Amino acid sequence: MDLEHSIAHPAQRRYARPLLLIHGAWHGAWCWEVAQPDLAARGFEVHAISLRGHGNSPSPANFRRSTVVQYASDVRAAIQAVGARPIVVAHSLGGLLVQLLITGVLGPVPDIAGAIMLCTSPVSLRDYFTPRQSEEPISLSEMLRFEPKAMRATLFRRDISEADLLRHVARLVPEPPMMTMSSMFLRPRPARCRTPMLVIGAEKDAVYGLPTQRSTAAAYRCGLVVVPESAHNVMLDPAWPVAAEAIERFAASL
Edge-first strand listing for the sheet containing 19-22: 5-8, 46-49, 19-22, 87-91, 114-118, 197-202, 223-227
Asked if residue 115 lies in contact with residue 197, where contact means CB atoms within 8 angstroms, the answer is yes
| Beta strand 87-91 pairing with 19-22 | parallel
For residue 1, the model assigns a pLDDT of 75
For residue 134, the model assigns a pLDDT of 52
Instruction: Report which secondary-structure segment, H or E, holds 213.
Output: helix 210-220
Instruction: Report which secondary-structure segment, H or E, holds 41.
Output: helix 35-41
CA distance 31 to 40: 15
For residue 137, the model assigns a pLDDT of 72
Whole-number percent of the chain with pLDDT over 70:
96
- Count the alpha carbons within 13 Å of 127 in the hemisphere toward its beta carbon: 21
CA distance 154 to 133: 9
Distances (CA, A) of 23 to 14, 76, 220: 24, 14, 21
pLDDT tens column, 185-206: 899 999 999 999 999 999 999 9
Q: Return the minimum-mean-pLDDT range out of 65-69, 91-95, 136-140, 239-243.
A: 136-140
pLDDT tens column, 200-232: 999 999 999 999 999 999 999 999 999 999 999
CA distance 108 to 136: 43
Look up the pTM and report it: 0.96
Helix (H, G, I), strand (E, B) or coil at 6: strand
For residue 234, the model assigns a pLDDT of 98
CA distance 135 to 156: 11
